[in-house]
Copies of this chain bind each other. A is one copy, B any other.
Amino acid sequence: MENGCISPAVAARLPRYHRYLSALLENSATRVSSNELSSMMGVTASQIRQDLATFGAFGQQGYGYGVEYLHGEISKILGVDKPHRLVIIGAGNIGRAIACHGLKKLGFDVKALFDTDKKLIGTKICGTPVYAVASLSGYLKALGADIAVIAVPAAAAKSAAELVFSLGVRAVWNFTNVDIDAPEGGLVENVHLTDSIMTLALRLNLLR
């Protein structure tokens, strides 16, 4: 790893390691070898060791990895050892689903939703208040938030992202089927639902 640059392939796999280690932890496993993880996860043991080597040396020859220790280290690498603050822009079906998804358990604290619909403003969704988009600027200044979820109609996506980036949010979790450009120092992570189902359709089509 060199100042902020890691292989995208590794970045995409790390949460999955974290997930399996959480499960091992729940089952009170104390140690795990790359070979055991390999057969659990369906990836090669070599890849697991290679991936982890990106960040350091967490195991012990002849023993394997301490489950709790490795889980903790990966949590630190992922940055989920400290809580994140989220705001959700758009209180439609997707915004509501995210607000109700129980992300707090994973360290992602949903602080508020923002919408333009007067009927929704002032209500709560799964315990999270809905505010007017007009009050976003003041809210973000007061409370801060590092991640904004973009769950607005496609036509409003780019301007919503520009707005939150301009207000100091550093990362956008984009649920629209629009590609959003990240500004210098900003990040965009996409959940392109329509692309996902089309990929499934494609694979189905190729499967004779």
**Chain A residues in the interface with B (C-beta under 8 A):** 1, 4-6, 11-12, 14-16, 18-19, 41-42, 77-80, 84, 93-94, 96-98, 100-101, 103, 106-108, 146-147, 170-171, 173, 177, 179, 185, 187, 189, 191-208
Interfacial chain B residues near A80, Cβ < 8 Å? 198, 201
Q: Pick from B42, B146, B147, B207: contact of A4, CB below 8 A.
A: B207
Tell me the complex Cα distance, A185–B179, Å: 33
Seed contacts A78-B201, A189-B200; 11 additional CB < 8 Å A-B pairs:
A1-B206, A11-B199, A11-B202, A16-B195, A78-B198, A79-B201, A94-B101, A106-B194, A171-B203, A191-B191, A191-B193
**Are B15 and A202 in touch, CB under 8 angstroms?**
yes
Interfacial chain B residues near A201, Cβ < 8 Å? 78-80, 84, 107-108, 147
Interface centre among A12, A16, A78, A103 (most CB of B within 10 A): A78
Interfacial chain B residues near A18, Cβ < 8 Å? 198
Q: Pick from B11, B185, B198: contact of A14, CB below 8 A.
A: B198
Q: Pick from B101, B103, B179, B185: contact of A93, CB below 8 A.
A: B101
Interfacial chain B residues near A193, Cβ < 8 Å? 98, 101, 191
Tell me the complex Cα distance, A100–B4, Å: 39
Interfacial chain B residues near A147, Cβ < 8 Å? 197, 200-201, 204
**Are B77 and A19 in touch, CB under 8 angstroms?**
no
